[in-house]
Amino acid sequence: MKAVINGVSIHYEITGNGPDMLVLHGWAGCINSMAPIIQEYSKNYRVIAIDFPNHGDSDTALDWDVTEYMENLYSFITELKLKDITVISHSFGGRVAILLSSTHPRLVKKLILIDSGGIIPKRNIKYYVKLYGYKIGKQFMKLAIRNKEEYNKWLDTERKKRGSNDYNALSPELRGTFIKIINQNLKPYLKNITAPTLILWGEFDNSTPVYMGKILNKGIKYSTLYILENTGHFSYLDDFASTKKHIDKFLEI
């Protein structure tokens, strides 16, 4: 199904019957990324799953930050007249869920964050030396390489060497969006979340390390954190049985 929200076409699917449950995938994912959760909880809920803009079968939307993703999602929720929503989110979806839950608390009945983004990573002196070295080098090479095509070729090579896998996999048009998203600190919003919150985290998550889950747990008043042993950033896929056990208890299924 498709819905045009503020001029952006959003692909979504609705499965099952019961109270509303909204499922939000991670960066570079899509509805299918959350298939085990959708399949399991459509037994007891009306599960609404979306492809975020720039993902799956939804439209492209350039230069968005998390706030714009959240505002688009809020308009989608209003369009479909969803209420008393249970939100299950992974990674990037957690960023949007945090902002939605804190700015529209009456909409969200329960919140589940799995290996969520939203916390700015700890950065040491080595990171800043590398960052400013790159910036200085870029200005120097701009003067040294007069040919624009050659300079752009050098710049692209440097970005590939220094960028993350997620960054390098993106088209040049979407890299600005990605940078905005990862640099948007959502920690100040945690205190405004009033929904009971379950936080699940992979023990060996290298994309959003466990300390980030602990920060979320400390910042969200009515939250509980569980670390899933021997799992990574996709902890719900690595150990769906444990994920289901904690979610079922939280939802009182």
Q: Mutual orientation of helices 125-144 and 148-162 as an angle, nearest 10°? A: 170
Domains annotated for the chain, with CATH where assigned, are 2-120+183-251 (3.40.50.1820), 125-173 (no CATH)
Average pLDDT for 86-92: 98
For residue range 194-207, list pLDDT tens digits in order: 999 999 999 999 99
The 46-50 sheet, strands edge to edge: 2-5, 8-15, 46-50, 20-24, 85-90, 108-114, 197-202, 223-228
Distances, alpha carbon 48 to alpha carbons 16, 113, 180, 229, 247, in Å = 9, 16, 27, 29, 17
Are 49 and 23 in contact by the 8 Å Cβ rule? The answer is yes
Q: What is the pLDDT of residue 253?
A: 73
54: left (phi over 0), alpha (psi -120 to 50) or beta: left
Q: What is the pLDDT of residue 128?
A: 37
User: What confidence category does residue 179 fall into, taking pLDDT thresholds of 50, 70 and 90?
Assistant: confident
User: What confidence category does residue 133 fall into, taking pLDDT thresholds of 50, 70 and 90?
Assistant: very low
Which of helix, strand or coil describes residue 222? coil
Q: What is the mean pLDDT of the chain?
A: 88
Sequence-separated (6 or more) residues with CB below 8 Å from residue 138: 155, 158
Buried residues in 3-27 as b, exposed as e (16+ CB within 10 A): eebeebebbbeebbeeebbbbbbbb
Which one is predicted more confidently, 128 or 229? 229
For residue range 197-237, list pLDDT tens digits in order: 999 999 999 999 999 999 999 999 999 999 999 999 999 99
For residue range 55-70, list pLDDT tens digits in order: 999 999 989 999 999 9
Average pLDDT for 141-150: 60
Q: What is the pLDDT of residue 132?
A: 42
CA distance 250 to 190: 20
Closest to 212 measured CA to CA, from 173, 222, 202: 202
The model carries a pTM of 0.85
Closest to 231 measured CA to CA, from 92, 114, 121: 114
> Tokens standing for 216?
């979320």
